[in-house]
């Protein structure tokens, strides 16, 4: 069993022992365990509130094992609009509902929800169901490392 309690920023040339592909929800868990295909148990013991991001590295407590985190593709809704104002208005309405949201200059992305999908379509936005990696904002007080 390997215990990981230290997160490092992305080091592109780092020699990693394992890659752990996690959904957005799984990247919010600071205490959990996974088993690799080879039967190696990886235990996360990260500070409370830690949010892992795609390409983060975890260093084992023994110091000799690195694990790279990757964002696992998952079902999402991708929202686009004809105007920047319409996209900003959609972000406002979703924010009022405290929905985890990925924000980009040309789209918003959220977990599938039929009620929110209908609301966004009623506002005149285009909503596509896709399977992609999901990188929601961590919030103003999140513990994510900025890349």
> pLDDT digit string (tens) for 35-79?
988 888 999 999 988 889 999 999 999 988 999 999 999 999 999
Question: Does 63 share its domain with 90?
Answer: no
Question: Does 17 share its domain with 78?
Answer: no
Domain final residue, candidates 40, 71, 102: 71
Q: Of 142 and 122, which is predicted with more confidence? A: 122
Instruction: Evaluate the CA torsion angle 114, 119, 124, 127 in order and state its sign.
Output: negative
Q: What is the largest CA-CA distance in the chain?
A: 54
| pLDDT number for residue 49 | 85
Question: Does 65 share its domain with 79?
Answer: no
For the chain, how many structural domains are there in total? 2
Domain limits at 33?
Answer: 2-71
Question: Does 67 share its domain with 82?
Answer: no
Question: Does 43 share its domain with 88?
Answer: no
Distance CA 141, CA 56 (A): 18
């Amino acid at each position: 069993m390997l215990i990981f309690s230290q997160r490092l920023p992305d080091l592109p040339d780092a020699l990693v022992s394992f890659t752990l592909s996690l959904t957005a929800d799984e990247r919010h868990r600071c205490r959990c365990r996974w088993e690799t295909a080879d039967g190696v148990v990886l235990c996360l013991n990260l500070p409370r509130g830690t949010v892992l991001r795609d390409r983060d590295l975890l260093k084992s407590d023994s110091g000799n094992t690195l694990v790279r985190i990757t964002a696992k593709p998952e079902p999402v809704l991708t929202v686009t609009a004809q105007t920047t104002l319409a996209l900003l208005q959609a972000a406002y309405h979703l924010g009022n509902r405290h929905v985890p949201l990925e924000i980009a200059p040309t789209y918003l992305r959220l977990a599938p929800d039929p009620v929110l999908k209908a609301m966004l379509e009623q506002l005149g936005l285009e909503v596509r169901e896709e399977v992609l990696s999901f990188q929601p904002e961590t919030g103003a007080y999140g513990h994510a490392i900025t890349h």
